[in-house]
Amino acid sequence: MQAKKETAPGLQVPFQAKHLQMKKVLLFAVGMLFAEISFGQVKWGIVAGPNFSSYTNKEGSDKETSSLKTSVRAGITADLPLADEFFIGTGLLYAGKGGKDKDNNALASFKANLSYLQLPILFTYKPQVGTGNLVLGVGPYLAYGVGGKLKGTIGTATGEVKAFDDEAGDYKLNRFDAGAGIQVGYEMPQGLYFGLNTDLGLVNVVSEKTINNVDYSWKNTSFGVSVGYKFGGK
């Protein structure tokens, strides 16, 4: 049987101290690297523009996409460099979503106004084209509903409930949403940015997946135009 090795008591404390010191140095180096990437190389930006959204309902085999509703998409952006011309495009955006029932008329109507905070994570390619850079991005996004209302009218009677609260009943929406984002734009050397964006919701956001023994789903979709200004970075 192999004898068990034991560390001499006199060596154990120096070894632990050295190990702790190495961890501190490593954490400091990682922190410095993160700070250098965050503030020295990241290109920051502000963007804003109209957002055109709709929702798609599916009840059993019946599927319908609502009419478009116009809202706003705006916030801050950050382009984190990965390699030459390749970035992770992220940020924190406000995105207005929802839609209007296609069957809206003078007798009955339904409208959803939803507000989300959104975190895009887009794999972005920015080749030089002309004097500026073409911007091509694709990737997931995560969103959190911060407010919203579902409003319905029948004749002269109007009802309104908070979309993310229990008062919406079977039609209550979950706050979490996620999907795929696509971005196409152009960044000028002065920092001005013009772009198109699309968000394709992939999550069924309704709380009750079955209503009256029928499968039910709600997914958000939107597209928009953005104008912005970018600064810093490289």
pLDDT recorded at residue 213: 85
What percent of the chain shows pLDDT beyond 90? Answer: 64
CA separation for the pair 74, 182 (Å, rounded): 16
Which of 10-19, 24-33, 73-82, 106-115 bottoms out in mean pLDDT, i.e. has the lowest?
Answer: 10-19
Average pLDDT of the segment spanning 137-165:
91
Q: What is the mean pLDDT of the chain?
A: 85
Average pLDDT of the segment spanning 111-130:
96
pLDDT recorded at residue 105: 66
Query: Is the model's pLDDT at 165 over the cut of 90?
Result: yes
CA atoms within 13 A on the CB side of 208: 14
- Name the pairing type of β-strands 86-100 and 108-120: antiparallel
Average pLDDT of the segment spanning 140-152:
95
> What domains appear along the chain, each with residue ranges and CATH number?
12-41 (no CATH), 45-231 (2.40.160)
Query: Is the model's pLDDT at 26 over the cut of 90?
Result: no
pLDDT recorded at residue 38: 52
